[in-house]
């Protein structure tokens, strides 16, 4: 925490609060840029090509400014509060969801020093923060005074809590392998690792923890409430679930939160399983250079993983609520527990 | 055939309700969920009032009538040639198919038969409107279950079929092409070759849908065993078309009453499925699209020459009498009961449309299912609101 991020490059001496502000602002910019990029790349273009259409083409070259136009449109719309809604709760619910998303980014490292807060229990913090969004969703569903919203929120509550378990259990395999809850240590353990003595690409945990990785991705799909696990917002049955009464900027906040969370989870997955920002330690790149290369590395990995999320989202139909719970409790959790046992045994053996 | 009495129904509801409360100490009030008239799952303005216990439906009631356009009454003040323009708006996705039973009934009253070429082309367009209609069902079923992509494929490939219909009739949605005694025009040059190309595209679309949707495991878990209609119940509620065939009733008016069509001369098959669930209804319709493309190919090869219009008086006055003709439309059996008093306009027309009967089973079908299953069942029953309300 006392390291000064810009010192080696710019020769600046910064106070702790100045440094923190810079880190937060950089993090925020990176987060919004990534989110916008992901929305354009996948929601607008990738999906359009999947569905044999072009997607937005008018705003900017190849429609690249479409998102700005959309945001402008949302900002202009009337911010409607329904008559029976609990105005205060209804108003702050999107902020709660967005806050939980932003807090997840706090500990995700993008370089040796490029991290807002390097907590000792980083992964624990991330997973805890990710489950905060349930509260915001339940608030939204209840305060909307709408049956569809209420059903959507209750479904979301059940679903997010059920999938929190496989998510955490899948991560435990990595934690056992790395021997640390700190995300920087997990990254270092992967880059310094070796595959049977060969250090060319380090040892990303996707190789040894492929089961954990798969469970993690499935659980992430459910946590993000993306198809095939999108019953909370199921547009064909619940119209939009807990978002049904939201308009204008508050809907925009949900929209940003949805995609920012996708980026966050993808960044966590690439940190845990794909080696994070680090290039293999054996390549001998200096820390200063890694502070510049790292963010690019983790962005590429995260964006690719978000692509997987959207690929699945636009290929599959959705489960029913009870089938989803069955999948979590009867398949994923036992599998994750078995994975932990196997990982533990292997850790002792090797 | 076992009839389901009201008493049995009530017992069933009570048992279901008790079941779902068995471990709950605090008895909670049920919730009434009003789906529609504006709801994405009802593709139109059908309203479903569902009494819920948690996510389980205790009772559901469809309320139709939000789109009533009074076609039966309107036909009484239109001349016979004008009526086709009205009735092809009933099932707006398979519009040419709506005109045919009315025209056939009028022809029956007048004692006219269309020349062979007209009958062949009539059958051809009839099947093409079936293809255009059911393609959309195949894609829409995906949307209702949460998979958006198949719908785009459906719209893409339906466009080719609509283009072909437009090339002949001049109208994509409302051809108004069928005439008493034949057809309005002949086929354009080169149309038959192009149609066979389009049918190849439709067949590859069917393969695509089969891979993307029907073989997906999630699709099977969402549809298999959901909304099972036994054959006897299907008959009691007057289900027709693919809904009846999916319940194992081997009944297709194209084969059993092909009056005015050339179906007996074609090589095709009536598909049935023994299960009667949502999956079966999807499966049967998928096979039907394939069967239709095969039929269209055969018609393209076999359509004879000759006139397309029989000798018909300039001013059509239908002699007094009554006739009922029903045909196997994309949605099921559609019948026109035409009563004439020998005037320019019919005295009375009663329209028997398939969707009205197909939806009438929903109160029986929606008991004890979950809320997402309502959408699966409604989507698989496949109704068009114009066809319910008329």
Give the pair of three-digit tokens for residue B217. Answer: 């495991």
Q: Tell the residue number behind the tokens 């929120």, with chain if given.
A: A153
The span from the CA of B102 to the CA of B89, in Å, is 13
CA distance B299 to chain A (A): 31
CB within 8 A of A95, min separation 6: which ones? Answer: A136, A253
B212 at A interface, C-beta within 8 A: yes
H or E element: which one contains B332? strand B332-340
A143 found inside a domain = yes
Residue B348's nearest CA partner among B326, B323, B327, B328 is B323
Question: Which positions in chain B touch A51 (Cβ < 8 Å)?
Answer: 148-149, 152-153
B354 found inside a domain = yes
A65 found inside a domain = no
Residue A3's nearest CA partner among A125, A114, A135, A162 is A114
The span from the CA of A112 to the CA of B282, in Å, is 55
Residue A204's nearest CA partner among A280, A263, A105 is A280
CB within 8 A of A287, min separation 6: which ones? Answer: A112, A113
CB within 8 A of A326, min separation 6: which ones? Answer: none
The conformational region for residue A275 under phi > 0 = left, psi -120 to 50 = alpha, else beta, is left
Q: Any idea what the CATH number is for the domain that residue B174 is in?
A: 1.10.645.10
Question: Which positions in chain B touch A314 (Cβ < 8 Å)?
Answer: 147-149
Question: Which positions in chain B touch A152 (Cβ < 8 Å)?
Answer: none
Contact B156 A317 (CB under 8 A): no
Quick check: A83 pLDDT over 60? Answer: yes
**Tens digits of residue pLDDT in B272-290:** 888 888 889 999 999 999 9
B62 forms bridges with which residues in the sheet? Answer: B48
A90 found inside a domain = yes
Confidence of residue A1 (pLDDT cuts 50, 70, 90): very low
**Tens digits of residue pLDDT in B159-208:** 899 998 899 888 888 888 888 888 888 888 888 889 989 999 899 999 98
pLDDT, mean of residues B210-234: 85
**Tens digits of residue pLDDT in A108-126:** 888 777 777 778 888 888 8
Contact A234 B372 (CB under 8 A): yes
Interface of A to B at Cβ within 8 Å reads 50-53, 147-148, 151, 227-228, 230-231, 234-239, 314-323
**Crossing angle of helices A133-143 and A87-105, rounded to 10°:** 160
H or E element: which one contains B292? helix B278-302
Give the pair of three-digit tokens for residue B211. Answer: 């891979």
The span from the CA of B227 to the CA of B367, in Å, is 9
CB within 8 A of B118, min separation 6: which ones? Answer: B181, B182, B183, B307, B308, B309, B310
Among the ranges given (A59-68, A209-218, B163-172), the one the predictor scored with the smallest mean pLDDT: A59-68
Averaged pLDDT of chain B: 84
Q: DSSP letters of A184-240?
A: HHHHHHHHS--BTTB-TT---HHHH-HHHHHHHHHHHHHHTT-TTS-TTT-TTTTTT
Per-residue confidence (pLDDT) for residue A12, from 0 to 100 = 63
Per-residue confidence (pLDDT) for residue A2, from 0 to 100 = 45
Per-residue confidence (pLDDT) for residue B1, from 0 to 100 = 42
> Total structural domains in chain B?
1
**Tens digits of residue pLDDT in A277-299:** 877 665 677 777 777 788 888 88
Contact B152 A51 (CB under 8 A): yes
Q: Based on C-alpha coordinates, what's the Rg of chain B?
A: 22
pLDDT, mean of residues B335-348: 87
B24 found inside a domain = no
A324 found inside a domain = yes
- What is the domain range of residue A168? 81-349
Give chain A's count of helices (H) and strands (E). Answer: 15, 0
Q: Is 0.90 surpassed by the pTM of this model?
A: no
> Total structural domains in chain A?
1
Confidence of residue B15 (pLDDT cuts 50, 70, 90): low
B327 forms bridges with which residues in the sheet? Answer: B334
- What is the domain range of residue B346? 80-362
Contact A317 B216 (CB under 8 A): yes
B247 found inside a domain = yes
Per-residue confidence (pLDDT) for residue A280, from 0 to 100 = 67
Facing residue for B143 by CB, picked from A50, A236, A322: A236
A16 found inside a domain = no
A285 found inside a domain = yes
Q: Enter the DSSP assignment of B31.
A: E
H or E element: which one contains B179? strand B178-179
**Tens digits of residue pLDDT in B69-120:** 888 888 888 888 888 888 888 888 888 888 888 888 888 888 888 888 888 9
Confidence of residue A11 (pLDDT cuts 50, 70, 90): low
């Amino acid at each position: 925490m006392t390291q000064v991020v810009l010192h080696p490059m710019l020769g600046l001496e910064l106070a702790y609060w100045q440094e923190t502000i810079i880190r937060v602002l950089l993090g925020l910019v990176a987060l919004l840029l990534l989110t916008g990029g992901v929305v354009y790349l996948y929601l607008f273009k990738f999906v359009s090509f999947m569905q044999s259409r072009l997607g937005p083409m008018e705003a900017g070259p190849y429609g690249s400014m479409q998102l700005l136009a959309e945001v402008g449109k949302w900002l202009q719309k009337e911010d409607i509060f329904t008559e029976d809604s609990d105005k205060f709760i209804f108003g702050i619910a999107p902020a709660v969801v967005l806050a939980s998303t932003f807090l997840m980014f706090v500990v995700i490292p993008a370089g040796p020093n490029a991290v807002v807060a390097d907590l000792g229990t980083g992964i624990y913090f991330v997973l805890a923060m990710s489950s905060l969004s349930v509260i915001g969703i339940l608030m939204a569903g209840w305060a909307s005074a709408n049956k569809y919203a209420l059903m959507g929120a209750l479904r979301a509550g059940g679903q997010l809590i059920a999938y929190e378990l496989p998510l955490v259990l899948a991560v435990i395999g990595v934690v056992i392998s790395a021997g640390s809850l700190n995300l920087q240590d997990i990254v270092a353990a992967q880059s310094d690792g070796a595959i049977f003595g060969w250090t060319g690409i380090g040892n990303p945990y996707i190789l040894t923890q492929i089961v954990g990785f798969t469970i993690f991705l499935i659980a992430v799909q459910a946590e993000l409430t993306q198809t095939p696990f999108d019953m909370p917002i199921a547009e064909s049955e619940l119209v939009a679930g807990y978002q049904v009464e939201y308009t204008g900027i508050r809907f925009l906040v949900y929209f940003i939160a949805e995609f920012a969370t996708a980026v966050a989870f993808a960044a966590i997955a690439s940190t845990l399983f794909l080696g994070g920002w680090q290039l293999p330690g054996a390549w001998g790149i200096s820390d200063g250079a890694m502070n510049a290369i790292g963010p690019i590395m983790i962005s590429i990995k995260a964006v690719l993983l978000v692509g997987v999320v959207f690929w699945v989202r636009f290929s599959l139909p959705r489960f029913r609520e009870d089938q989803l719970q069955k999948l979590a409790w009867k398949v994923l959790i036992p599998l994750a527990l078995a994975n932990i046992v196997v990982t533990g045994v292997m850790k002792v053996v090797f | 055939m076992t009839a389901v009495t009201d008493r049995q129904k009530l017992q069933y509801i009570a048992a279901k309700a008790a079941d779902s409360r068995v471990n709950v100490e605090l008895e909670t009030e049920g919730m009434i969920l009003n789906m529609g008239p504006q709801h994405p799952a009802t593709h139109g303005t059908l309203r479903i009032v569902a009494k819920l216990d948690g996510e389980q439906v205790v009772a559901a009631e469809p309320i139709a009538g939000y789109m009533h356009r009074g076609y039966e009454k309107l036909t009484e003040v239109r001349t016979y040639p004008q009526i086709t323009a009205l009735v092809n708006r009933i099932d707006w996705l398979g519009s040419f198919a709506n005109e045919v039973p009315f025209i056939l009934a009028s022809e029956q009253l007048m004692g006219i038969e269309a020349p062979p070429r007209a009958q062949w082309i009539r059958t051809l367009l009839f099947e093409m409107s079936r293809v255009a209609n059911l393609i959309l069902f195949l894609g829409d079923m995906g949307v209702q279950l949460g998979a958006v992509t198949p719908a785009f494929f459906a719209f893409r490939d339906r466009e080719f079929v609509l283009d072909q219909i437009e090339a002949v009739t001049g109208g994509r949605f409302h051809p108004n092409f069928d005439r008493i005694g034949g057809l309005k025009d002949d086929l354009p040059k080169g149309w038959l070759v192009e149609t066979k190309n389009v049918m190849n595209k439709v067949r590859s679309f069917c393969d695509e849908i089969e891979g993307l949707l029907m073989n997906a495991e999630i699709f099977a878990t969402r549809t298999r065993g959901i909304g099972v209609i036994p054959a006897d119940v299907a008959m009691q509620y007057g289900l027709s078309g693919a809904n009846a065939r999916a319940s194992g009733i081997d009944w297709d008016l194209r084969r059993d009453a092909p009056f005015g069509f050339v179906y007996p001369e074609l090589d095709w098959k009536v598909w049935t499925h023994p299960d009667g669930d949502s999956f079966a209804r999807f499966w049967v319709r998928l096979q039907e699209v394939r069967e239709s493309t095969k039929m269209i190919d055969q018609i393209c090869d076999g359509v004879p020459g000759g006139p397309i219009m029989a000798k018909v008086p300039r001013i059509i006055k239908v002699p007094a009498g009554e006739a009922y003709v029903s045909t196997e439309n994309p949605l099921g059996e559609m019948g026109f009961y035409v009563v004439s008093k020998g005037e320019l306009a019919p005295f009375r027309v009663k329209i028997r449309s398939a969707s009205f009967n197909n939806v009438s089973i929903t109160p029986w079908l929606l008991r004890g299912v979950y809320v997402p299953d309502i959408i699966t069942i409604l989507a698989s029953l496949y109704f068009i609101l114009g066809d319910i309300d008329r």
